Structure 1
């Protein structure tokens, strides 16, 4: 593996920066023990010409979800719940779920929302920031919009529970606030605040000391600036690095998208995954549990289950497990890869993937929105496999 040539990958990424499409990147490829290749290039902030460094801090947004899902499955290993338990068994506000159709008709759900449903986004819940469906006005009326929701985690989920779902639970895939319900359940099962559980049971044991819901003031100079993409180029600033909103206490610890991290830190998480739940003698999760999380839990691939247009990507041949997308038909995605590859993405252009067959993990960290502005993540994946295969 040491002889693999990643020059084409580096050219792809540096061209994106040099053409003013993105400000900068940090990327790395690992075999689970060592970093096989890495690159940091461009700028944390264009205006100040602050260079992108290996230890630059990024908003990882939805790459928070796999950590939250693993926190839940750690509790599953302790016998705290079964995957097909109704959420209402632990959160009574989810009792008597109703389905609201686009024409306004309300019916009682035939199936209760289960833990499995919320882990694999088939509960029928929505997320206004990423959807324009008929539930969005209702959510906004109740100040529910992912990490933009108002109130503490308990009050947010208590307001969410009684609201109708948009389809019969378990029948379709739809991106949603479901992982915030998972975070609240972690609190119920563990009798600990969610952020405390994640820190003490995952982040500290893995040495992820710079993965935070709130960035410490002394690290403000290392925070990347997040940019809008306008007319195919870098545009206005969404969140300036040195004055980032993530330097302030969050409204609540958002299990679906609230963490910030660095390449070094997230690589620890990825290496744990590549080593089947263990890193340097510290076991986070049993190998069998990780296998359960990274198999497909849908009745088909994501495109067949309603995700055809999600985030501007092709979801043919890609299923979804318990917190991760997973390749279930390597010929359908029209990209190189292999069965069983899993991972996820973040709203600001980030992505990570784990290939257990090749024993390879790759991560790309950058900061632009909307992430569907470019096919960068697909091109990133293509270049990695062309170097490996």
Structure 2
């Protein structure tokens, strides 16, 4: 069945200012003019209706190809909220609870150890966990896992242990989990926050629970029902021309083409699809996914997850002690007024966090400059996509949130509803 397209209306129809949205476009264009990014695509929707779509700059500088609204982007960590939704499909079926130990579903994690320091000979000191890490820990980056890619800090003993164990040198999620289970946790479960491959563990859990490849499960239970025609872990040769070029922006250097440094771009379905990164999508597809979340689990009459599941996904699950401590991951923050939900952050108190969004705003971003948020208090969603890895990436999500708030000014705005 063909997907029902989201209606397109003028901004004023849904309480936004055309002039305010034009100011947002101008701010993005200024980054393009300065050579910070090559191009960008953005979609804004409110009350279930798209009120702004724009493609600015270039998809590819060398060929002078202009950006287009249906360009394909590597969304990197914006894969994570999609994985949360997929997990919640199974939560609705009673397959797991947040308090389940990870090892209940993936027994290879039954004998995890925790890193406590280095011995004089450089070997790792370890101790047993004080409690088993749970799925809640997995969803909130508090289980004690790390990332440990070749881009991670080589001086970190745990990240170095990931490399030594070849965690990333695997062709399947099953083998990846077997190697990961032999590496100590970075800290006692629940006592700290560390960005991690916990969502990749979730992908492995989906495979174990369903007997399906993770990518196949996403297609059957999320992408196809929502009509996400351009979202997947591969870009077929016939669609390569739509894939935005990936650039590196180093300080004091112009944009330079770079091959994907995290994994090879796939032209066919990979044998190992990751829950934490790897999806390719369009702004329109991701807006449909975001609209499903904003619609409390359904879009155009098609239900993906229950209202209870979306409520679980988009509320804070961190204890006050960790929020008060504060953590930073790129442009994302955890601290007063900002907690962590399932595979994404959530604004619990906009005034305390000093952010121009409504209470309950759920958001995340991707390494190459993709970003999104849903603001239930204002019934609003925004998706933005660029394709630039940068040491000094502009805070596009924060900038556009401020400009969207200005475009909503005096138009039934709710910051704390």
TM over 0.5: yes
3-state DSSP class of the match of 2:346? strand
CA contact (8 A) 1:124 1:174 kept: yes
- Return 5+ residue gaps in structure 1 as ranges: none
Larger radius of gyration: 2
Q: CA deviation at 1:189?
A: 1.4
Q: Does the alignment pair 1:326 with 2:346?
A: yes
C-alpha distance in 2 between matches for 1:371 and 1:379: 18
Q: 1:315 aligns with which of 334, 338, 358?
A: 334
Deviating beyond 4 angstroms after TM superposition, the runs of 4 or more aligned structure 1 residues are none
C-alpha distance in 2 between matches for 1:60 and 1:350: 6
Q: CA deviation at 1:255?
A: 1.2
Where does residue 91 of structure 1 map in the other structure? 106
Q: Does the alignment pair 1:384 with 2:404?
A: yes
1:289-334 superposed Cα distances (whole Å, 9 cap, x missing partner): 11011111001386535524x2155433211111221001212333
Q: Does the alignment pair 1:43 with 2:43?
A: no
Q: Does the alignment pair 1:21 with 2:32?
A: no
CA contact (8 A) 1:126 1:136 kept: yes
Structure 2 counterparts to residues 168-179 of structure 1, below 5 A: 168-179=188-199
Where does residue 53 of structure 1 map in the other structure? 68
- Return 5+ residue gaps in structure 2 as ranges: 1-13, 119-123, 410-417
Where does residue 75 of structure 1 map in the other structure? 90
Name which of structure 1's ranges 98-107 and 200-209 shifts more when overlaid on structure 2: 98-107
CA contact (8 A) 1:32 1:275 kept: no
Structure 2 counterparts to residues 1-389 of structure 1, below 5 A: 1-4=14-17, 5-103=20-118, 104-129=124-149, 131-132=152-153, 133-145=156-168, 149-231=169-251, 234-239=254-259, 245-247=265-267, 249-250=269-270, 252-300=272-320, 304-305=324-325, 307-308=327-328, 310-316=329-335, 317-370=337-390, 372-389=392-409
CA contact (8 A) 2:37 2:255 kept: no
CA contact (8 A) 1:302 1:318 kept: no
C-alpha distance in 2 between matches for 1:234 and 1:329: 39
C-alpha distance in 2 between matches for 1:209 and 1:38: 18
3-state DSSP class of the match of 2:241? helix
C-alpha distance in 1 between matches for 2:110 and 2:324: 29
1:103-156 superposed Cα distances (whole Å, 9 cap, x missing partner): 4431110111111111111111001246433211100112224xxx42211100
